Amino acid sequence: MGGMLRRCANWDYRQRGIYMVTLTVEGRRPLLGSLVGGEAAASVAPSAAGEWVAACWREIPERFPGVTLMESQLMPDHFHGIVFVREPQKKPLGAIVGAFKSHSTSLFLHAARGEIHAARGMAQDEAVLCPAARGGGAGAPSPPALWSPGFQDTILFHKGQLAAMRAYVLDNPRRLAVKRAHPDLFRIVRDLPCAGARFVAIGNHFLLAYPVKRQVQCSRSVAPEALAGQEAELLAAARHGAVLVSPCISPGEKRIARTALAAGRPLIVLLENGFPPLYKPPKTYFEACAAGRLLMLAPWPHHTDKRPITREQCLALNSFAKAIAGEGEPCTPKTT
């Protein structure tokens, strides 16, 4: 149960460190609770299973001395927790999470079997004696699993990460409420025609229909004065209704995109990597998506490789940005 879906190479998961772990319910079923309240005051009301999960999580320091729990957030179909391993452990992080999953699953299955027995009109003492009711007989219903295999982990290496991760964990209910209130803005579209190609897209598609769009393209070697002038000119255009279109490749392009989003200006971003099935935009992009001010486009499928963007891909993204902005024809990039 403790297999990891994301590992940091050459890291000893028994050593001191702060980790954020995420576990998902099998089949992403909303077994752990329900969302209550609107966008401004969203929270999750735990189900019985959610309460067991929370209780099992709180028991971790008792079972693993030297481990402190820093933050957690129960969601209808997943769970986030931040763990501080203060003292080196005999077993790795996977064993800690595995014990938590095993204990909470045991409580869940015990209750699920009880519900099955009750549904069949059996008294509890009869159910204990009946092999079929325990799932051992032909045709007997089987209780569903609680957790998906494995878990995801993030190691907090740098200053400021803990505060940011705590804020992210606690903000999850509000983010879910926002997504439910604006489903079209967070729906992944897998085959959006644009600029002579097909893109995977998230965000406000109507930004493509804006009459005035401006490409953002900055050389890596641009002088600071020239970059400042280009940034001022593009943001002035955005204030007057233009949509900025950027591949966000060079530092200058990224800086202009950040400034535009911070100023509440509309932006179309072209990305080298696509989106996995349950993708959620990061914080700044999330807020811009919710406000209808962002469209994210990716011409290539999602991948999990850690690989640098190629020169050919850079040229293709710049070409697409130019075509979307109405300033030229796109090239035809190779599929990666």
What is the SS3 assignment for 67? strand
Q: Find where tokens 């005999």 sit.
A: 90
Percent of the chain with pLDDT over 90: 66
Using DSSP's 3-state secondary structure scheme, residue 31 falls into coil
CA-nearest of 215, 202, 219, 176 to 35 is 176
Residue 327 one-letter amino acid: E
DSSP code at position 336: -
* The CATH number of the domain covering residues in 17-180: 3.30.70.1290
Q: Which amino acid is at 258?
A: R
> 43: closest CA among 172, 183, 164?
172
On whether the CB atoms of residues 60 and 96 are closer than 8 A, the answer is: yes
Strand pairing partners for 67? 85
Q: Which residues of the chain have a pLDDT value below 50?
A: 1, 116-138, 140, 330-336
In angstroms, how far is the first alpha carbon of the chain from the final one?
34
Q: What is the pLDDT of residue 331?
A: 46
Q: What integer pLDDT is reported at residue 114 of this predicted model?
A: 63
Look up the pTM and report it: 0.70
**How far does Cα 7 stand from its chain's mean position?**
17
Q: Are strands 267-270 and 294-298 parallel, antiparallel or unpaired?
A: parallel
Exposure of 178 by Cβ count < 10 A (0-12 exposed, 13-18 middle, 19+ buried)?
buried
Longest CA pairwise span in the chain (Å): 82
Residue 79: name the closest of 120, 50, 59 by CA: 50
Q: How many CB atoms lie within 10 A of CB 325?
A: 21
Residue 7 sits at φ, ψ, to 5 deg, of -125, 150
CATH code, residues 183-324: 3.40.50.450
State residue 3's pLDDT score: 54
Res 11: pLDDT: 85
Residue (of 248, 257, 320) closest to 288 by Cα position: 257
Report the alpha-carbon distance of residue 93 to residue 12 in Å, rounded: 9
| Residue ranges of the chain assigned to CATH 3.30.70.1290 | 17-180
The residue among 101, 76, 99, 72 whose CA lies nearest residue 84 is: 72
Alpha carbon 74 to chain centroid distance?
A: 15
| Alpha-carbon distances of 254 from 160, 199, 234, 258, rounded to whole Å | 21, 21, 13, 6
Q: Distance between CA 82 and CA 166 in Å, rounded?
A: 8
DSSP state letters, 254-279: HHHHHHHHHTT--EEEE-SS---TT-
Closest CA to 298 of 214, 207, 217, 195: 195
DSSP-derived letter for residue 147 is B
Q: Tell the burial category of 191 from Cβ atoms under 10 Å away from its Cβ (0-12, 13-18, 19+).
A: exposed
How many whole angstroms from its chain centre is CA 304? 14
Q: How far apart are CA 288 and CA 270, in angstroms?
A: 15
Strands 243-246 and 267-270: parallel
As annotated, the residues of the chain forming the CATH 3.40.50.450 domain(s) are 183-324
Q: What are phi and psi of 33, to 5 degrees?
A: 165, -170
